[in-house]
């Protein structure tokens, strides 16, 4: 059983960055790619649970988990043990050519969370979210014999050529990199807080469906569309939850036209939303189904070890032997970390203070955080919206007339950091709260107190 570090209150840092942090950041700025972003000065030295200590000895509460990756926190003993054991056996053979039991059993375990009676799924393993997305799109094209892909505005799918083409969140990901993949179109994402297409919060799901059907009449022949790829809860675009009727209606639209439905669960999946996959919040509700044909996962799957997966219905995974592969994909050490992560997510191994499973903890502590943040809206009118599910939570900052306030968001993010809370922005004016799923209610309360204090300082 794990012993958790006691909740503590980080102190206000008035002299950030510390000298060691500053020195490393200076070397970093000299030698690393000019494309890396540095939202605030932080250089980690070691971590324990939900706490990260920097090279100058400042201990920070982690509310972003390396962009929704560190599911089990930092240096979780169960994950560390699994990795150590596998490293002493073998670290690489190449899954494309030889099976290895640890990845076979990982695939068996992952499909159990999506398979329905009479339906079998298969898994392709890669190393990153973008690779899972590439695999999904290649499979959809190969299976359907069609080429067109529809994605959404606000989406993020990764940095490879296919993935940046699909991405619709910021032009900086594409500027200067063209030409991109042909035959890709973007449609609005049904954001209930800022409904597109002149719709309302309640009608924006149907409005997007009508918009796509309109495109099929005017611009894109439906029988040339291989797939629609969408994040069931949009991450980088602003931590947005679509209206409940939308994904089932999108499933029906795909069925009507023989189009593959791909759910990109890279950010919201693996228990973060309180269910294994975020689409499962909508599947089976009111008798409506929205099971996709293909799912991509990465990030939270292995507590930070690099592995990703593309899951597809057996009837869809028809590409021939040798048509796709990866030298490192499904690496056994990363697979061991994924098994250990799943042990904790499913509750096969318990983490003390986190109920029956980390998935349950994500749902319960996430609900607590959301309720507290909604209560804070009364004190801070510039918090325009609080939304999410489980520990996938977005906080949108607005101007007095309701427009996104990115400047205020940036100031809030820095004020939180200075008080010891690691956080990350997304969308135009959103702070995402995506802590490790081992976060207890007490630790969550500590983080919320820091947020409140930082927001008061802004006023
Ligand atoms: C939804 C989604 N898909 C794909 C990716 C790309 O993942 P990676 O950076 O591992 O390639 C991300 C990364 O943020 C993501 O959020």
Tally of residues, the chain: 459
H or E element in which residue 444 lies: helix 441-458
CB 431 within 8 A of CB 394: yes
Residue 4 lies in a domain: no
Query: Which of 158, 265, 329, 424 to mutate to test ligand 1, by most ligand atoms within 8 A of the CB atom?
Result: 158
Indicate if 101 and 155 belong to the same structural domain: yes
pLDDT the model gives residue 1: 37
Indicate if 368 and 276 belong to the same structural domain: no
pLDDT the model gives residue 4: 42
Going by C-alpha positions, the residue among 97, 163, 457 that lies closest to residue 310 is: 163
Tokens of 92: 């690489």
- 330: CATH: 3.40.640.10
Q: Following DSSP, what letter does each residue of 61-128 receive, concatenated?
A: EESSHHHHT-TT-BS-HHHHHHHHHHHHH-S---TTTS--HHHHHHHHHHHTTT--TT--EEEEEESS
Q: C-alpha distances in angstroms, 371 versus 95, 201, 235, 366, 448?
A: 45, 20, 20, 9, 11
Q: Residue 201 is part of which domain span?
A: 81-346
State which residues of the chain have pLDDT below 50. Answer: 1-5
pLDDT the model gives residue 434: 98
Number of domains making up the chain: 2
pLDDT the model gives residue 8: 63
Indicate if 380 and 240 belong to the same structural domain: no
Indicate if 100 and 192 belong to the same structural domain: yes
pLDDT the model gives residue 14: 60
Indicate if 179 and 217 belong to the same structural domain: yes
Strand, helix or coil for residue 47: strand
Indicate if 41 and 148 belong to the same structural domain: no
Largest CA distance in the chain: 62
Residue 199 lies in a domain: yes
Indicate if 360 and 223 belong to the same structural domain: no
Query: Which of 266, 272, 328 to mutate to test ligand 1, by most ligand atoms within 8 A of the CB atom?
Result: 266
Pocket lined around ligand 1, Cβ cut-off 6 Å: 67, 128-130, 133, 156-158, 231, 235-236, 264, 266-267, 298
Rounded to whole angstroms, the Cα distance separating 369 from 260 reads: 36
pLDDT the model gives residue 286: 83
pLDDT the model gives residue 119: 95
pLDDT the model gives residue 280: 98
**Residue where a domain stops, chosen among 346, 371, 396:** 346
Indicate if 85 and 111 belong to the same structural domain: yes
Q: How many whole angstroms from 219 Cα to the centroid of ligand 1?
A: 29
Rounded to whole angstroms, the Cα distance separating 152 from 190 reads: 9
pLDDT the model gives residue 2: 40
């Amino acid at each position: 059983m794990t012993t958790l570090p006691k909740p503590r209150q980080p102190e206000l840092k008035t002299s950030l960055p510390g000298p060691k942090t500053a020195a490393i950041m200076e070397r970093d700025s000299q030698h690393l790619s000019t494309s890396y972003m540095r939202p605030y000065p932080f250089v980690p030295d070691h971590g324990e649970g939900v706490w990260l200590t920097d090279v100058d000895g400042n201990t920070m509460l982690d509310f972003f988990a390396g962009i929704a990756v560190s599911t089990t926190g930092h240096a979780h003993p169960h994950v560390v043990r699994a990795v150590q054991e596998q490293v002493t056996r073998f670290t690489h053979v190449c899954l494309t050519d030889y099976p290895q039991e640890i990845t076979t059993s990982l695939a068996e375990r992952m499909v159990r969370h999506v398979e329905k009676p009479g339906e079998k799924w298969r898994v392709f393993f890669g190393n990153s979210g973008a690779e899972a997305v590439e695999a999904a799109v290649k499979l959809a094209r190969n299976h359907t014999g069609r080429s067109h892909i529809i994605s959404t505005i606000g989406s993020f799918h990764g940095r490879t050529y296919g993935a940046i083409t699909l991405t619709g969140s910021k032009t900086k990901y594409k500027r200067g990199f063209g030409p991109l993949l042909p035959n890709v179109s973007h449609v609005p994402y049904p954001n209930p807080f800022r409904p597109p297409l002149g719709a309302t919060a309640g009608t924006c799901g149907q409005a997007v469906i009508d918009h796509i059907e309109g495109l099929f009449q005017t611009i894109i022949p439906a029988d040339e569309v291989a797939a629609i790829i969408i994040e069931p809860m949009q991450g980088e675009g602003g931590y947005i939850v679509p209206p409940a009727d939308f994904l089932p209606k999108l499933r029906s639209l795909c069925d009507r036209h023989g189009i593959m439905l791909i759910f990109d669960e890279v950010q919201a999946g693996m228990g973060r939303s309180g269910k294994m996959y975020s689409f499962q919040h909508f599947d089976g509700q009111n008798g409506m189904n929205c099971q996709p044909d293909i799912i991509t996962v990465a990030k939270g799957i292995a507590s930070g070890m690099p592995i990703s997966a593309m899951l597809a219905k057996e009837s869809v995974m028809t590409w021939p032997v040798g048509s796709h592969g990866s030298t490192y994909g499904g690496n056994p050490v990363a697979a061991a970390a994924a098994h250990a992560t799943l042990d904790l997510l499913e509750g096969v191994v318990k983490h003390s203070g986190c109920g029956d499973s980390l998935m349950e903890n994500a749902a319960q502590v996430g609900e607590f955080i959301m309720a507290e943040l909604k209560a804070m809206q009364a004190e801070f009118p510039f918090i325009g919206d609080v939304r999410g599910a489980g520990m996938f939570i977005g906080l949108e900052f607005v101007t007095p007339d309701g427009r996104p306030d990115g400047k205020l968001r940036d100031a809030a993010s820095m004020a939180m950091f200075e008080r010891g809370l690691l956080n990350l922005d997304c969308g135009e004016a959103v702070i995402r709260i995506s802590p490790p799923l081992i976060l207890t209610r007490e630790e969550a309360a500590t983080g919320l107190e820091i947020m409140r204090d930082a927001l008061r300082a802004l006023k």
